[in-house]
Amino acid sequence: MSVAIFEAWESEIRGYCRAYPTVFKTAENARQIDENGKSYIDFFAGAGVLNFGHNNPHMKKAVIDYIQANGVTHSLDMYTTAKRDFIEGFVNTIMKPRGMKHRLQFMGPTGTNAVEAALKIARRVTGRETVFAFSHGFHGMTLGALACTANDYFRNASGVPLNHVHRLPFEGVANGSDIQALRKQIEDPSSGIKPPAAFILEPIQAEGGVNIATAQWLREVQQLAKDVGALFILDDIQAGCGRTGSYFSFDDMGLDPDVITLAKGLGGFGTPIAMNMVKAEHDKHWQPGEHTGTFRGQNISFIAGREALRYFEDDKLMTDVKRKGDIMRGVLDELAATLKGQGLAVRGKGMMQALDVQDGAKAKEIAKTCFENGMLFGPCGTQGKVLKLIPPLTIADEDLNEGLQIFKDAVLHVMKG
């Protein structure tokens, strides 16, 4: 069958399908197969949702068993065995080893819902309106989160002013990311810059071009937030849940965020879930039911997410992620060296690796060539000039190497003209 039905009836808003013009039918781990039987190696993984692969067998069995036992599927925020098991697993596996005592807040099922809730609690706690966000950041598509998102293409679709956000340059992306200079401005009563409700940022800007903040810079932002009475919010929605070789992308950096937003890979299986980790002293400012969401009781995601947490009960997967990340990095470094005169840049951590080819049109052509040869990935960053590779963490070495070879050949073909 063709894609005609989609083109005839689906909204013009559709995006990814334009880059992948086929109809997918089945998927397993790092492979998707279309209805014509063609296999594609997936280095996109649902934009980071499928950290543990398509149809992960452990999660699939747990979900099927739960459904066959007539487990509760939808529960608003009522207590269920599925939610209890997930919370116990998260607390024991992720929080207690790190000495974290945050409260867990479930809201709507996507990352933008998590960001909206984080902004609300920051404004409630501080009594302030303005939030400081950073250049090249991406935080979601609903209006509050969109106000914090930097990309004009997305912002221009809002139709209304996106207010109460002050934009700052992210470290290494734009000039002027000196936090000490910002401190002086905030402390100067004649600067016109008042302390914000919060600083919100991604330790690794995934959609913004895989821009990685240093631990020192992040600690400076955190300290400034604390000193001026603002909340420090870390958006780890795409880079978290094991993607970088540890559960959080900011592990071992000496950070103690007031709020952490999580989604995407949290549910493991591809079913939607979002969760904020909020320090207890801030969480107490909520009134019961003050921030709700019909699908905050997403029990299928709790079941699959509990299985995902088992991957973090030992170091096996994270050790493997670091190993595979090194393989990916090696290929990108080789490409940058081979094409040295074209100014390519390699950025990444763990199994989020990227090659900045400095040209959006060439990046698009590389992605098209990869698709034609059976490999999927998504360009990102300014003008889509950054080639971001985020395969499932569970990808087999054979698929990893084959996918990287397809990618390497496409880059060389396009960049050499």
* Domain CATH code at residue 139: 3.40.640.10
Distance of CA 37 to the CA centre of its chain: 30
Same domain, 201 and 95: yes
Same domain, 48 and 92: no
Last residue of a domain, one of 312, 330, 360: 312
Residue 63 resides in a domain:
no
pLDDT at 15: 94
pLDDT at 22: 96
Determine if residue 348 is left, alpha or beta; phi over 0 gives left, psi from -120 to 50 gives alpha, anything else beta: left
Determine if residue 80 is left, alpha or beta; phi over 0 gives left, psi from -120 to 50 gives alpha, anything else beta: beta
Residue 150 resides in a domain:
yes
CA 298/CA 263 separation, integer angstroms: 12
Last residue of a domain, one of 262, 295, 312: 312
Comparing C-alpha atoms, which of 125, 354, 338 is closest to residue 231?
125
- DSSP string across 266-327: GGSSS----EEEE-HHHHTTPPTTSS--TTS-BHHHHHHHHHHHGGGSSSHHHHHHHHHHHH
Same domain, 80 and 166: yes
Same domain, 139 and 165: yes
Same domain, 26 and 96: no
CA 41/CA 349 separation, integer angstroms: 21
- CB–CB of 62/89 below 8 Å? no
Same domain, 80 and 45: no
Last residue of a domain, one of 312, 344, 371: 312
How many domains does the chain fold into? 2
Q: Per-residue pLDDT tens, the chain, 417 aa: give them.
A: 589 999 999 999 999 999 999 999 999 999 999 999 999 999 999 999 999 999 999 999 999 999 999 999 999 999 999 999 999 999 999 999 999 999 999 999 999 999 999 999 999 999 999 999 999 999 999 999 999 999 999 999 999 999 999 999 999 775 546 888 889 999 999 999 999 999 999 999 999 999 999 999 999 999 999 999 999 999 999 999 999 999 999 999 999 999 999 999 999 999 999 999 999 999 999 999 999 999 998 999 999 999 999 999 999 999 999 999 999 999 999 999 999 999 999 999 999 999 999 999 999 999 999 999 999 999 999 999 999 999 999 999 999 999 999 999 999 999 998
Comparing C-alpha atoms, which of 405, 340, 322 is closest to residue 370?
405
Residue 66 resides in a domain:
no
Comparing C-alpha atoms, which of 365, 313, 318, 391 is closest to residue 30?
391
CA 175/CA 194 separation, integer angstroms: 21
Residue 62 resides in a domain:
no
pLDDT at 172: 79
Same domain, 103 and 120: yes
DSSP state of 108: S
- Domain containing 25: what range? 4-55+315-415
Residue 61 resides in a domain:
no
Residue 19 resides in a domain:
yes
pLDDT at 177: 64
Residue 129 resides in a domain:
yes
Same domain, 45 and 80: no
List C-alpha distances in Å: 51 to 92, 304, 360, 388: 21, 12, 26, 15
* Domain CATH code at residue 371: 3.90.1150.10
Same domain, 223 and 284: yes
φ/ψ of residue 116, rounded to 5: -60, -45
Helices 397-415, 360-372: inter-axial angle, 10-degree rounding: 130
Residue 64 resides in a domain:
no
Same domain, 307 and 347: no
